[in-house]
């Protein structure tokens, strides 16, 4: 049974490290997903909505730490209990989401891998089996020696590598995992035996927090969304030829012998003797393909829909502020400086927000900014760039650069790099 337990630990450890790292790469996006779960029409836990980002960071880091701990056998009682409680929670959450069709994507692997609710639940059930094995033998696993690590860690790294290369097309998880394994080596070499487990936990915590802080203060290292650099927004809004369209069918309700039944169109219920029409509903039978971008628009009360003209511009800058009430005020002033500096250049500049007009006027006065705003759906703006405000440079609809407000370049640099 030792081999079975080692297999379970290797699989769970590798998967938790990758899963946690993908979410830590975009903790802001994961916090948006948690917000969906806490919404009134799902779990209805409004007070947690204020702490979605903090919870997202905790979950991301906890997954990575638990993944490494289970691989090296660190604090196995605590690790096994933590894994068990976490997976039981997610079992319940994903089953609820799938059964009641509440959240269409669990966010388990961020935007990198989309899972349907039932696929997510099946994944958690498989993980539960492995974690139950780990939990059963938790008292028999001790903090591993170098020889024991040499058997498990290379296999775990191989699994991370295979998953990263074939499923993600992103090799960074391999490098990050190597860093974690180097921490294990350093702790085992320089820290006293009785302090190694806690020392490893502390170093792993600091490393994971530093990575999460970096991606939050700038942008995700890898962007898996349809608005990544190099993507064309207009092309992302269209389906290729031969794509599967949605298939609908009418559901007819007829009363026959005092009983109301539902019939498909092919049943021709109107031909049944004595059938009395009650109602007709159109239902989606087969969901077809959908374009990766299906909710992008830029609108103005005075100019109407300007989406096509912005996407057709040879050079365009989009300033994205999904909620001006939460936008960094100093960054808004930087936006104003860029707008003013490039006003004489052949650049289409568009500021986009979902903030109400009244709030917008107050914030414009408070931040001393005067450029006009266009309306775009809030969820779309959150998806475009994980920064509030954020900035994109487009050339004929293709995204050639994205910036977090901490990285806004000087206007002279923008002119040199993209206009000259």
Question: Tens of pLDDT along 253-287?
Answer: 999 988 999 998 888 999 998 899 999 988 877 77
d(C-alpha 361, C-alpha 365), whole Å: 6
With tokens 């007070």, the residue in question is 47
Q: Residue 420 has what pLDDT? A: 67
Domains of the chain and any CATH numbers: 2-217 (no CATH), 247-286 (no CATH), 299-418 (3.40.30.10)
pLDDT at residue 242, rounded to an integer:
73
Number of helices followed by number of strands (H, E) in the chain: 14, 10
Q: What does the alpha-carbon distance between residue 328 and residue 392 come to, in Å, rounded to a whole number?
A: 17
> Rounded CA gap, 59 and 27, in Å?
9
SS3 letters for 128-196?
Answer: HHHHHHHHHCHHHCCCCCHHHHHHHHHHHHHHHHHHHHHHHCCCHHHHHHHHHHHHHHHHHHHCCHHHH
Q: Contact at 8 Å (CB) between 315 and 393?
A: yes
CA distance 356 to 354: 7
- Residue 1's pLDDT is what? 61
Low-confidence ranges of the chain (pLDDT < 70): 1, 420
Q: How many residues does the chain have?
A: 420
Q: Which residues in 142-160 are b (16+ Cβ under 10 Å) and which e?
A: ebbeeeebeebbebbbebb
| Residue 388 token pair | 């509030």
CA-closest candidate to residue 67, choices 25, 27, 106, 9: 9
Tokens, residue 21:
């790292």
b/e code 303-340 from CB counts within 10 Å (16+ = b): eeeebeebbebebbbbbbbbebeebbeebbebbbebbe
CA distances from 104 to 57, 96, 97, 108, 243 (A): 22, 12, 8, 12, 21
Collapse the DSSP code of 260 into the 3-class scheme (helix H, G, I; strand E, B; otherwise coil) and give the result.
strand
3-state SS, residue 317: strand
Is 10 in a helix, a strand, or coil?
Answer: helix
The confidence score (pLDDT) of residue 233 equals 96
CA 379, 383, 386, 388 torsion: positive or negative?
negative
Confirm if 104 and 36 have CB atoms less than 8 A apart: no
Q: Give CA–CA dist 138/344, Å, rounded.
A: 68
User: In angstroms, rounded to a whole number, what is the distance separating the alpha carbons of residues 160 and 370?
Assistant: 49
């Amino acid at each position: 049974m030792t081999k079975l337990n080692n297999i379970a630990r290797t699989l769970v450890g590798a998967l938790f490290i990758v899963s946690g790292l993908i979410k830590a790469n975009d903790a802001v996006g994961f916090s948006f997903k948690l917000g969906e779960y806490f919404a009134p029409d799902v779990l209805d836990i409004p007070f947690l909505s204020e702490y979605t980002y903090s919870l997202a960071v905790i979950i991301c880091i906890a997954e990575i730490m638990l993944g490494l701990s289970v691989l090296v056998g660190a604090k196995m009682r605590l690790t096994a209990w933590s894994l068990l409680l976490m997976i039981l929670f997610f079992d319940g959450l994903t089953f609820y989401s799938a059964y009641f069709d509440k959240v269409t994507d669990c966010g388990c692997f961020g935007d990198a891998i989309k899972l349907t609710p039932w696929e997510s639940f099946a994944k958690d059930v498989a993980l539960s089996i492995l974690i139950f094995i780990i939990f059963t033998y938790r008292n028999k696993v001790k903090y591993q020696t170098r020889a024991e690590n040499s058997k498990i860690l290379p296999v775990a790294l191989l699994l991370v590598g295979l998953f990263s290369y074939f499923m993600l097309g992103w090799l960074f998880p391999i490098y990050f995992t190597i860093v974690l394994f180097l921490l294990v080596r350093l702790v085992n070499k320089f820290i006293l035996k009785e302090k190694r487990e806690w020392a490893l936990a502390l170093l792993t915590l600091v490393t994971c927090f530093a990575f999460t802080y970096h991606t939050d203060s700038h942008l995700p290292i890898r962007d898996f969304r349809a608005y990544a650099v190099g993507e064309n927004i207009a092309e992302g809004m269209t389906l290729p030829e031969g794509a599967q369209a949605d298939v609908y069918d009418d559901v007819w309700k007829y009363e026959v012998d005092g009983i109301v039944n539902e019939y498909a169109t092919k049943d021709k219920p109107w031909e049944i003797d004595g059938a009395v029409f009650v109602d007709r509903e159109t239902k989606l039978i087969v969901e077809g393909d959908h374009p990766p971008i299906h909710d992008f628009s830029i609108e103005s009360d005075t100019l109407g829909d300007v989406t096509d003209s912005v996407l057709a511009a040879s050079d365009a800058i989009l300033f994205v502020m999904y909620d001006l009430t939460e936008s960094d005020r100093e960054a808004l002033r930087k936006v104003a400086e860029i707008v003013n500096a490039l006003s004489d250049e052949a650049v289409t500049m568009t500021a986009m927000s979902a903030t109400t007009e009244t709030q917008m006027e107050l914030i414009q006065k408070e931040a001393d900014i005067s450029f006009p705003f266009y309306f775009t759906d809030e969820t779309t703006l959150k998806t475009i760039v994980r920064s509030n405000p954020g900035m994109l440079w487009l050339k004929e609809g293709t995204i050639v650069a994205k910036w977090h407000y901490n990285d806004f370049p000087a206007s002279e640099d923008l002119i040199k790099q993209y206009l000259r």
